[in-house]
Structure 1
């Protein structure tokens, strides 16, 4: 059983594009700035910081991106 999102499929597609085209570049700037704070530290610590920051950005948007690459479930079937 899949959990139904509050947004329609088309709305989720539009919002996912906004997140990817606007939000992700902004997050990259923030993540790079935060990673720069660890510039004098060991390479292993920097790697851990970047891996964590690379995973953390998607967690709030997990339900938004789920099923976006599939066909529209609300579309009428093609004959």
Structure 2
């Protein structure tokens, strides 16, 4: 089953690892920085900010993560 991104299953697995090992720590630093800029808001607002930033961060990479946890079904 070929995906729209044009990346093979193996390439998507490798890119997902790179994104998680580099992108996730960068997201955490950015999210904490943004929350600190708004001077530690109430807990509900802070949680909402983290959720929104998390969704915005991952949206461009959806195609990379789609199907990575399943068995390889790409023809070699």
| Shorter-normalised TM range | 0.7 to 0.9
SS in 1 for 2:63: helix
Q: 1:72 matched to which residue of 2?
A: 72
The TM-score normalised by the length of structure 1 is 0.80
How far apart in 1 are the matches of 2:20 and 2:39? 27
Aligned length: 76
Pairing 1:59–2:73 present: no
With over 3 angstroms needed to count, the CA separation of the structure-2 counterparts of 1:2 and 1:8, relative to structure 1, is closer
C-alpha root-mean-square deviation of aligned residues, in Å? 2.1
SS in 2 for 1:57: helix
User: Greater relative contact order (Cα 8 A, min sep 6): structure 1 or 2?
Assistant: 2
The TM-score normalised by the length of structure 2 is 0.82
Q: 2:29 matched to which residue of 1?
A: 29
Larger Rg: 1
Instruction: List runs of 5+ in structure 2 lacking aligned partners.
Output: none
Name the structure with the higher helix share.
2
